[in-house]
């Protein structure tokens, strides 16, 4: 008997369905590379906006930073196969250290029943630097959003400089990386915008929808915010 496919809503870049007790998503040329990483790492409640109160606490923020550090550290000894295909926004940097998740935002985290966190959705993972991955997570978890967007998405009002320092401390950033973090967050936002536009121009349906629905207006607001608050954010990291 063939079981029906039940569409699962919430994602924006993939088609996801439930078939019986399994959850399935469309594959692509990047899938074998992602599977290789997940096999190396193999040894609840998903974030939905507006976020529930337990997702926006300082405790949750530090747990995310710690989880990201564990994800990076767990890759020790892993080398992607030569010629691996990744669904990346651009070529990997020359100083790649790890395979970055590239989308460790609340919608890609799950709280397990035992209170631990799990990362999901590795479609955009590709080689990069630890700081680049930290920058995206800090942007979307501190968050470095406008006050209006921060409130709408569930955080209410936050002290951005304090929470950015908390995230950096919990991850264990080096002094050198703390000096580079704000610039890297800004560059990560720019890369996010340009990458989505590039994929939309290439005809990828999910990214075409993101552009058509005006979803790039929010990160454009975030760029203006980070420029306005740069001194406060950098000062908190010293």
Domains and CATH numbers, the chain: 28-236 (1.10.510.10)
Using pLDDT thresholds of 50, 70 and 90, give the confidence band for residue 178.
very high
Contact call for residues 113 and 185 (beta carbons, < 8 A): no
Judged by average pLDDT, the poorest of 20-34, 59-73, 151-165, 181-195 is 20-34
Query: Average pLDDT in the 216-234 region?
Result: 98
Choice among 64-68, 87-91, 101-105, 138-142 with the minimum mean pLDDT: 87-91
Residue 12, pLDDT score:
63
pLDDT of residue 42: 54
- Report the share of the chain in percent with pLDDT over 70: 93
Q: Are 107 and 59 in contact (CB under 8 A)?
A: no
pLDDT: which is higher, 82 or 150 = 150
What pLDDT score does 233 carry? 98
pLDDT above 70 for 1: no
Question: Is the model more confident about 136 or about 28?
Answer: 136
The answer for residues whose C-beta is within 8 angstroms of residue 190's C-beta and 6 or more apart is 223
Kindly report the average pLDDT of the chain as a whole number. 90
- Which string of DSSP letters, residue by residue, matches 108-158? GEEE-TTS-EEE---TT-EEE-HHHHHHHHHHHHTT-S-HHHHHHTT--S-
The pLDDT, as a whole number, for residue 43 is 44
For residue 128, pLDDT over 90 is answered with yes
Decide: helix, strand or coil at residue 12: coil
pLDDT in tens, 30-81: 888 887 777 765 545 667 899 999 999 999 999 999 999 999 999 999 988 8
Q: Which tokens is 51 given?
A: 């976020």
pTM for the model: 0.82
**Nearest C-alpha neighbor of 196 from the set 182, 223, 222, 215:** 215
State phi, psi for 217 to the nearest 5 degrees.
-65, -35
Give the model's pLDDT for residue 112.
Answer: 78
Burial class (CB in 10 A: 0-12, 13-18, 19+), 36: middle
Per-residue model confidence (pLDDT) at position 58: 97
Query: 47 or 154: whose pLDDT is higher?
Result: 154
- 99 three-state secondary structure: strand
- Mean pLDDT in residue range 157-174: 98
């Amino acid at each position: 008997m063939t079981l029906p496919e039940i569409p699962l809503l919430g994602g924006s870049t993939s088609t996801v369905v439930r078939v019986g007790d399994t959850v399935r998503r469309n594959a692509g040329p990047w899938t074998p590379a992602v599977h290789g990483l997940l096999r190396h790492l193999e040894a609840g409640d998903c974030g939905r906006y507006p976020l529930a109160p337990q997702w926006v606490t300082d405790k949750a923020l530090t747990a995310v930073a710690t989880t990201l550090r564990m994800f990076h550290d767990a890759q020790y000894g892993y080398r992607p196969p030569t010629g691996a295909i990744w669904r990346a926004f651009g070529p990997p940097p020359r100083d790649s250290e790890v395979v970055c998740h590239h989308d460790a935002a609340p919608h890609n985290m799950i709280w397990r029943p035992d209170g631990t966190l799990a990362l999901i959705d590795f479609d955009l993972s590709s080689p990069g630097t630890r700081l680049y991955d930290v920058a995206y997570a800090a942007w979307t978890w501190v968050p470095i959003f406008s006050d209006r967007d921060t409130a709408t998405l569930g955080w209410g009002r936050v002290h951005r400089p304090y929470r950015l320092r908390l995230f950096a401390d919990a991850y264990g950033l080096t002094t050198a990386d703390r000096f580079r973090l704000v610039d890297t967050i800004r560059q990560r936002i720019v890369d996010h915008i340009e990458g989505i536009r590039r994929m939309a121009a290439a005809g990828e349906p999910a990214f075409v929808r993101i552009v058509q629905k005006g979803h790039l207006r929010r990160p454009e607001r975030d760029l203006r915010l980070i420029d306005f608050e740069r001194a406060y954010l950098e000062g908190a990291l010293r």
